[in-house]
């Protein structure tokens, strides 16, 4: 054992404790039998009681299903719009209104959420009066609002990917006879697909746990999961919220685990290919 | 120079596209805002030749190449291939292909798919595409690598695939942007000869852009030297090396000793220049023009200077022309040659290159030794600009 590095080890332990003790305690308490969140009922724990309560809680299940539908819709629409904006900003050089678009498209990232939410609500109300759509606030307006701010993040991700991307690839395709639209679908799109995928995941996550903007544009009967959790917590944390959160944490952890393994595999394959190429050097 | 093209007088439709005017660049300029990248360039490229555009960075050579490919539109002027004006034709409709400096192989496609990409745009049948891809991969000796992805190839292999991809459409003109810059030195020489070989086999006209004079000399049948957006000189490699038209060309291609002087006689036996910098009178046998008293520059290549410990025979008879003395200041041993830097009695430095013919010469010239430097009357080039 090396005796050096005790400082690094202490820092590591403290960091992990700081980050994960709240989550671990939440997971532990989700198996607590007591109705009181802070009292550990040693006699009857651990138990899956609250998980059972959860799957029969119609309100939470409806909210979760709504959140998933909104997140998928918002992420997908934001990816299309964000990719278009990113390509326009990264590739079309200096066109009229470029600076305006660059500023506007990323504004939702820096704008306080309450302002975004309020302005969207005012817009939807005005639109409903002028053109009769969207009718009232609800799932549709939540999705529209989420598309608006998710698009900004996708644009930034796609744009930065395109900025680090050899433009001569597109020129080469054009040189070989492909028209601009074909160049986009055969060359540009496949190559920025990883950025688009991570943009989609980012947008999904943002939409999934957005609370502030959603509060403004939600209506009766369109409560998303974060809204339900938040309203439950206001009356004191109930153990079934712990169970719900535990399930979410496990899902996220599984997702991260799978992607890490996949990336490791890709990396190793790539290294092997590079070695092969170097060996075959002639 | 004799090969400087004349601006086209006849309209392009009437011009007969003969071999000497296969590609015509007529008075082409390109401006980016206030900056003139290419400045009234006119150039004729012959069918089947390898024309090298040589210049430093910012000389406009790459912009000219991009205009030939169609990625930039000329501000003024015309570009014609076989009499057809292409100046406003988009890149995807030109009978021109390009090999990029970075090779620009599509990383998500296999070698075969990369090469087939151009043919697919012509909507050829699958069998025809497969046959042509196979043929061209055979020519560049990459037959066994069709299924590989670009990142599984070495630098040299990528270069061949890029060449195959550009050649498979049988373009009327192939543009090569620094084709050998990304290869290491050994591989470069090998590839150079292979490139020449393939070009001769397929008979495609090449235009090569490079900043590397060695690459340009060995590849090019003719060179065009560019500076500040203009073509300074066009000629064969030996034309340009032995008879540079300007001081810029003499200095840019190879190394050169350049001294200012005044014309003191202009007779049948050549031009006589008195140079205070050099400290002697230069007789240039193959130089014309230059009025008495005019300021000119004489350029002498380092390998054309002889070095000796005693004045060479007959030097007295020549009256000390083309002869100077000095002390060796630096010697750089390069293996095949040695470079001597000699401080002349006039105070100027002169550079001499000598081949190391004998292995371990009996007493090599040492530093600080006094030497005589002389050259043949045919060696000096007289430049007026």
Mean pLDDT of chain B: 88
C-alpha–C-alpha distance, residues B74 and B76, integer Å: 5
User: What does the pLDDT read at residue B265?
Assistant: 82
Residue A57 Cα distances to A51, A53, A62, A208, B67, angstroms:
10, 6, 9, 19, 68
SS3 A2: coil
CB under 8 Å to B216, separation ≥6 — which residues?
Answer: B52, B54, B208, B210, B223, B237
Is the distance from CB of B330 to CB of B341 less than 8 angstroms?
Answer: yes
Contacts of B33 in chain A (CB under 8 A): none
Contacts of A277 in chain B (CB under 8 A): 151-154, 157
Mean pLDDT of chain A: 88
Q: Do B108 and A274 touch (CB under 8 A)?
A: no
Contacts of B149 in chain A (CB under 8 A): 273
User: What does the pLDDT read at residue A242?
Assistant: 85
SS3 A109: helix
Nearest to B118 by CA among A162, A186, A91, A87: A186
What is the rounded average pLDDT of the residues B362-372? 84
Looking at per-residue confidence, does B1 or B206 come out higher?
Answer: B206
Q: Which residue of A has its CA nearest to B191?
A: A282
Length of chain B: 385
User: What does the pLDDT read at residue B292?
Assistant: 81
Is the distance from CB of A147 to CB of A137 less than 8 angstroms?
Answer: no
Is the distance from CB of B286 to CB of B378 less than 8 angstroms?
Answer: yes
Count of C-beta atoms within a 10 Å radius of residue B252: 22
CB pairs under 8 A between A and B: 79
C-alpha–C-alpha distance, residues B139 and B133, integer Å: 10
Given B121, B165, B166, which is nearest A178 (Cβ)?
A: B121
Contacts of B207 in chain A (CB under 8 A): none
CA B266 to chain centre: 32
Q: Which of B32, B152, B184 to substitute to test the interface with A, most A CBs within 10 Å?
A: B152
Residues 237-276 of A with CB under 8 A from B: 270, 273-274, 276
Q: Do A274 and B151 touch (CB under 8 A)?
A: yes
Contacts of B101 in chain A (CB under 8 A): 168
User: What does the pLDDT read at residue A276?
Assistant: 75
Q: Which residue of A has its CA nearest to B165?
A: A176
Q: Do A168 and B100 touch (CB under 8 A)?
A: yes
User: What does the pLDDT read at residue A41?
Assistant: 81
Q: Do A172 and B98 touch (CB under 8 A)?
A: yes
Q: How close does chain A come to B8, measured CA to CA in Å? A: 28
Q: Which of A173, A177, A272 to substitute to test the interface with B, most B CBs within 10 Å?
A: A177
B60: left (phi over 0), alpha (psi -120 to 50) or beta: left
Query: Which class is B255-383 in CATH?
Result: mainly beta
Nearest to B160 by CA among B129, B137, B182, B181: B137
Residue pLDDT, tens place only, A46-84: 888 889 888 888 988 899 999 999 999 999 999 999 999
Residue pLDDT, tens place only, B71-118: 999 999 999 999 899 988 999 999 999 999 999 999 999 999 999 999
Does the pLDDT value for residue B272 go beyond 90? no
B28-248 CATH fold: Rossmann fold (3.40.50)
Is the distance from CB of A241 to CB of B115 less than 8 angstroms?
Answer: no
Predicted confidence band at B1 (pLDDT cuts at 50, 70, 90)?
very low
**Which strands sit side by side in the sheet containing B370-375, from one edge to the other?**
B305-308, B370-375, B323-333, B337-344, B349-355
Given A166, A191, A280, which is nearest B108 (Cβ)?
A: A191
Count of C-beta atoms within a 10 Å radius of residue B213: 18
Structure tokens at A136: 């009232």
Given B100, B152, B155, which is nearest A276 (Cβ)?
A: B152
Does the pLDDT value for residue B316 go beyond 90? no
User: What does the pLDDT read at residue B289?
Assistant: 65
Residue pLDDT, tens place only, A79-119: 999 999 999 888 877 777 888 888 888 888 888 999 999 99
CB under 8 Å to B169, separation ≥6 — which residues?
Answer: A176, A177, B97, B118, B119, B122
Residue B83 — φ and ψ, nearest 5°?
A: 80, -5
Alpha helix positions (H), B208-335 = 213-219, 237-242, 247-252
Given B96, B100, B106, which is nearest A187 (Cβ)?
A: B106
User: What does the pLDDT read at residue B315?
Assistant: 63
CB under 8 Å to A22, separation ≥6 — which residues?
Answer: none
C-alpha–C-alpha distance, residues B283 and B265, integer Å: 9
DSSP letter string, A136-188: SSSHHHHHHHHHHHHHHHHHHHHHHHHHTS-THHHHHHHHTT--HHHHIIIII
Is the distance from CB of A85 to CB of A155 less than 8 angstroms?
Answer: yes
Looking at per-residue confidence, does B8 or B36 come out higher?
Answer: B36
A173 contacts chain B (CB < 8 A): yes
Contacts of B92 in chain A (CB under 8 A): 174-179
Q: How close does chain A come to B157, measured CA to CA in Å? A: 7
Residue B152 Cα distances to A191, A280, B163, angstroms:
17, 9, 17
User: What does the pLDDT read at residue A40?
Assistant: 83
Q: Which residue of A has its CA nearest to B162?
A: A172
CB under 8 Å to A184, separation ≥6 — which residues?
Answer: A87
Given A175, A179, A191, which is nearest B69 (Cβ)?
A: A175
Contacts of B151 in chain A (CB under 8 A): 270, 273-274, 277
CATH numbers and ranges of domains, chain A: 20-56 (no CATH), 58-230 (1.10.3720.10)
Q: How close does chain A come to B290, measured CA to CA in Å? A: 49
A181 contacts chain B (CB < 8 A): no
SS3 A112: coil
A171 contacts chain B (CB < 8 A): yes
User: What does the pLDDT read at residue B361?
Assistant: 63
Residue pLDDT, tens place only, A233-272: 887 777 888 888 899 889 889 988 998 898 899 888 888 8
Count of C-beta atoms within a 10 Å radius of residue A233: 11
User: What does the pLDDT read at residue A282?
Assistant: 46
Given A175, A186, A282, which is nearest B156 (Cβ)?
A: A282
C-alpha–C-alpha distance, residues A240 and A35, integer Å: 9
Predicted confidence band at A134 (pLDDT cuts at 50, 70, 90)?
confident
Radius of gyration of chain A (CA): 24
Structure tokens at B316: 């007295």
Does the pLDDT value for residue B9 go beyond 60? no
User: What does the pLDDT read at residue B91?
Assistant: 95
Angle at which helices A6-30 and A239-279 cross, to 10°: 130
C-alpha–C-alpha distance, residues A229 and A252, integer Å: 18
Contacts of B152 in chain A (CB under 8 A): 273, 276-277
What is the rounded average pLDDT of the residues A179-186? 94
DSSP letter string, B287-322: -----TT-EEEEEE-GGGEEEESSPPTTTTTTTTTT
Q: Do A176 and B118 touch (CB under 8 A)?
A: yes
Q: Do A277 and B151 touch (CB under 8 A)?
A: yes
Contacts of B97 in chain A (CB under 8 A): 175-176
Domain map (residue ranges) of chain B:
28-248, 255-383
CB under 8 Å to A113, separation ≥6 — which residues?
Answer: A210, A212, A213
Does the pLDDT value for residue B10 go beyond 50? no
User: What does the pLDDT read at residue A200?
Assistant: 93
CB under 8 Å to B105, separation ≥6 — which residues?
Answer: B114, B150, B158, B161, B162, B165
User: What does the pLDDT read at residue B232?
Assistant: 94
C-alpha–C-alpha distance, residues B302 and A275, integer Å: 45
The residues on B that touch A, with CB distances below 8 Å, are: 69-71, 90-93, 96-98, 100-102, 104, 106-108, 117-118, 121-122, 149, 151-157, 165-166, 169, 187
C-alpha–C-alpha distance, residues A26 and A30, integer Å: 6
């Amino acid at each position: 054992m090396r005796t050096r590095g005790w400082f690094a080890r202490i820092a590591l332990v403290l960091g992990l404790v700081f980050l994960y003790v709240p989550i671990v305690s939440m997971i532990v308490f989700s198996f607590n039998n007591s109705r009181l969140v802070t009292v550990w009922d040693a006699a009857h724990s651990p138990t899956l009681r609250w998980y059972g309560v959860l799957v029969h809680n119609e309100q939470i299940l409806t909210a979760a299903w709504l959140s998933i539908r909104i997140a998928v819709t918002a992420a997908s629409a934001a990816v299309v719009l964000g990719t278009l904006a990113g390509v326009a900003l990264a590739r079309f050089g200096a066109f009229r209104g470029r600076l305006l678009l660059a500023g506007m498209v990323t504004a939702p990232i820096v704008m306080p959420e309450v302002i975004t939410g309020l302005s969207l609500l005012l817009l939807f109300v005005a639109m409903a009066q002028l053109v009769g759509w969207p009718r009232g606030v609800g799932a549709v307006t939540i999705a529209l609002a989420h598309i608006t701010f998710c698009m900004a993040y996708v644009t930034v991700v796609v744009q930065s990917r395109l900025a680090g991307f050899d433009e001569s690839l597109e020129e080469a395709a054009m040189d070989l006879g492909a028209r601009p639209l074909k160049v986009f679908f055969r060359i540009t799109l496949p190559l920025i697909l990883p950025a688009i995928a991570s943009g989609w995941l980012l947008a999904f996550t943002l939409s999934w746990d957005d609370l502030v903007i959603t509060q403004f544009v939600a209506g009766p009967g369109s409560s998303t999961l974060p809204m339900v959790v938040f309203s439950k917590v206001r009356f004191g944390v109930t153990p079934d919220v712990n169970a719900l959160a535990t399930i979410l944490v496990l899902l996220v952890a599984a997702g991260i685990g799978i992607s890490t393994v996949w990336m490791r595999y890709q990396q190793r394959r790539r290294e092997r290919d590079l070695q092969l190429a170097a060996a075959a050097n002639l | 120079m004799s090969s400087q093209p004349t601006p086209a007088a006849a309209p392009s439709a009437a011009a007969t596209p003969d071999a000497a005017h296969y590609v015509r660049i007529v008075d082409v300029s390109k401006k980016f805002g206030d900056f003139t990248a290419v400045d009234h360039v006119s150039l004729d490229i012959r069918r089947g030749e390898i024309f090298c555009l040589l210049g430093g960075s910012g000389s406009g050579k790459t912009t000219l190449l991009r205009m030939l490919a169609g990625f930039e539109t000329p501000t003024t002027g015309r570009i014609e291939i076989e009499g057809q004006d292409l100046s406003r034709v988009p890149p995807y409709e030109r009978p021109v292909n390009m090999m990029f400096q970075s090779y620009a192989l599509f990383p998500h496609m296999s070698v075969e798919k990369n090469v087939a990409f151009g043919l697919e745009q012509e909507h050829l049948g699958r069998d025809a595409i497969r046959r042509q891809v196979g043929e061209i991969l055979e020519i560049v000796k990459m037959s066994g690598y069709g299924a590989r992805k670009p990142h599984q190839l070495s630098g040299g292999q990528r270069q061949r695939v890029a060449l195959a991809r550009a050649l498979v459409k049988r373009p009327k003109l192939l543009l090569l942007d620094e084709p050998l810059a990304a290869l290491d030195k050994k591989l470069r020489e090998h590839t150079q000869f292979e490139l020449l070989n393939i070009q001769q086999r397929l008979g495609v006209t090449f235009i090569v852009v490079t900043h590397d004079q060695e690459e340009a000399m060995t590849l090019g049948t003719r060179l065009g030297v560019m500076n500040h957006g203009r073509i300074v000189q066009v000629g064969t490699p030996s034309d340009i090396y032995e008879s540079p038209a300007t001081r810029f060309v003499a200095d840019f291609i190879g190394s050169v000793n350049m001294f200012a002087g005044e014309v003191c006689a202009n007779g049948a036996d050549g031009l006589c220049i008195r140079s205070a910098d050099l400290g002697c009178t230069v007789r240039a046998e193959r130089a014309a023009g230059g009025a008495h008293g005019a300021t000119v520059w004489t350029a002498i290549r380092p390998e054309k200077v002889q070095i000796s410990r005693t004045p060479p025979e007959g030097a007295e008879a020549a009256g000390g022309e083309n002869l100077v003395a000095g002390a060796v200041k630096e010697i750089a041993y390069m293996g095949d040659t040695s470079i001597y830097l000699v401080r002349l009695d006039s105070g100027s430095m002169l550079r001499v290159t000598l081949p190391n013919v004998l292995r371990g010469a009996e007493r090599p010239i040492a530093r600080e030794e006094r030497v005589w430097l002389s050259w043949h009357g045919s060696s000096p080039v007289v430049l007026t600009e």
